[in-house]
Amino acid sequence: GAGVSQSPSNKVTEKGKDVELRCDPISGHTALYWYRQRLGQGLEFLIYFQGNSAPDKSGLPSDRFSAERTGESVSTLTIQRTQQEDSAVYLCASSPQWGLLNTEAFFGQGTRLTVV
Side-by-side strand order, sheet with 65-69: 5-7, 19-24, 75-79, 65-69
CB of 54 to another protein, least distance (A): 11
User: Phi, psi (5° rounding) for residue 9?
Assistant: -80, -30
Which of 13-21, 34-42, 60-68, 69-77 is the region at the interface with another protein (rule: CB under 8 A)? 34-42
- Site for another protein, residues 41 to 100, rule: CB under 8 A: 41-43, 45, 48, 91, 93, 99-100
| 105 makes contact with another protein (CB under 8 A) | yes
Nearer to another protein, 87 or 95 (CB): 95
